[in-house]
Amino acid sequence: MTDQARETIPIASDHAGFELKAKVAAQLEKMGYAVQDLGAKSEDPSDYPDYAHPLAEEVSTGQAKRGILLCGSGIGVDIVANRYPHVRAALSWMPEIAELSRRHNDSNVLVIPARFVSDYEAAEIVDKWINTKFDGGRHARRVNKIDNDNVESTDQGDGNAS
């Protein structure tokens, strides 16, 4: 990745994800990405919506292509992020889930449950998520239906679970 084309990935956490966020940010930088740290800035108790909203807003408006959120369980930041149009946040506790979230759902926000994964597992999750491409095809049709409330569902199923 050249400096000129270097993608910036925003990352945010509450206090529970603070320590792991620093490790994920270092991993991203090693992989050649610029990191925008949206907080928290310490392990002092904080409220996850204060950090999830700004990151989700950046992805929703296209200021960022994708982002990473962390909190204790991952659930709180996932709920906040998925309230935004065009955000597809995926709570991923193992690399295979991160991979499927990219391949089948074109996830653009990775959510890591900091209290439930090791540093090693988090690194594997990030690596898999960053390096997996969206499959498109039948999955693109499904993803397009997420933000479009006016899509008439004529899909009778194709026998392939996602």
* pLDDT bracket for residue 5 (50, 70, 90): confident
* Cα–Cα distance measured from residue 128 to residue 142, given in angstroms and rounded to the nearest whole number: 22
Would residue 86 show up in a list of annotated catalytic residues for this protein? no
- Give per-residue pLDDT as tens, 98-140: 999 999 999 999 999 999 999 999 999 999 999 999 999 999 9
The catalytically annotated residue of 15, 53, 86, 104 is 104
Would residue 15 show up in a list of annotated catalytic residues for this protein? no
Q: Which two tokens mark 42?
A: 């310490």
- Give per-residue pLDDT as tens, 130-143: 999 999 999 999 99
Radius of gyration of the chain (CA): 16
Alpha-carbon distances of 140 from 60, 112, 136, rounded to whole Å: 18, 24, 5
Residue 26 has pLDDT above 80, yes or no: yes
Domain parsing of the chain, residue ranges: 8-146
- Give per-residue pLDDT as tens, 28-58: 999 999 999 999 999 999 999 999 999 999 9
Do 90 and 84 contact (CB within 8 A), yes or no?
Answer: no
Alpha-carbon distances of 28 from 11, 35, 72, 88, 124, rounded to whole Å: 10, 7, 20, 20, 12
Do 74 and 113 contact (CB within 8 A), yes or no?
Answer: yes
SS3 for 37?
A: strand
* pLDDT bracket for residue 156 (50, 70, 90): very low
Residue 160 has pLDDT above 90, yes or no: no
User: Domain 8-146 class?
Assistant: alpha beta
The catalytically annotated residue of 15, 71, 86, 139 is 71
Give me the mean pLDDT over the 2-25 stretch: 90
